[in-house]
């Protein structure tokens, strides 16, 4: 399989950056037309950014390089099965295919357990551990009405 070189690059990134103290053992690359357009590694602890997972970092770089928020012609290679946050970002970026190496169970065995998040996301908002209360909906709907009537909006 010729795509193995891209997976190997994601794995190398995960190892090299983790050994350099840049974050956890995760790496990812976004590929478009056979070329790497985004590289990412876990920067959560080095950037003090809980959203700086390898996949997110790679997606951000690919979007900057390609000057688009839609990566529908790209493929993502990641050293581990994406967490719920990264999975959502992959869907939002419209990436049609993902290759991954380690599973989420492998990650759980070394302390990166996302099972709680998978369960929480599936629950109704009122039953989640995170306290969430709705307020000022009528006021906030004004922004939605403006969006809806904006002839210059860029749908995504």
Active site residues: 55
DSSP symbol at 83: P
Can you tell me the distance from the alpha carbon of 85 to that of 103, in angstroms, rounded to the nearest whole number? Answer: 15
Ranges of H-type helices in 99-153:
104-109, 115-122, 137-149
Single out the residue of 52, 13, 45 nearest to residue 29, CA to CA: 13
């Amino acid at each position: 399989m010729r795509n193995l070189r891209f997976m190997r690059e994601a794995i190398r990134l995960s190892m090299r950056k983790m050994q350099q103290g840049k974050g956890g053992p995760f790496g990812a690359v976004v590929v478009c037309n056979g070329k790497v357009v985004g590289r990412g590694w876990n920067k959560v602890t080095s950037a003090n950014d809980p959203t700086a997972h390898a996949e997110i970092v790679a997606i951000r770089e690919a979007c900057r390089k390609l000057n688009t928020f839609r990566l529908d012609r790209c493929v993502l290679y990641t050293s581990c099965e994406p967490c719920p946050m990264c999975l959502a970002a992959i869907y939002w970026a419209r990436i049609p295919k993902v290759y991954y190496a380690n599973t989420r169970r492998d990650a759980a065995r070394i302390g990166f357990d996302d099972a709680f998040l998978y369960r929480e996301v599936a629950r109704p908002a009122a039953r989640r551990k995170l306290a969430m209360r709705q307020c000022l909906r009528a006021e906030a709907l004004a922004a939605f009405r403006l969006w809806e009537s904006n002839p210059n909006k860029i749908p995504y």
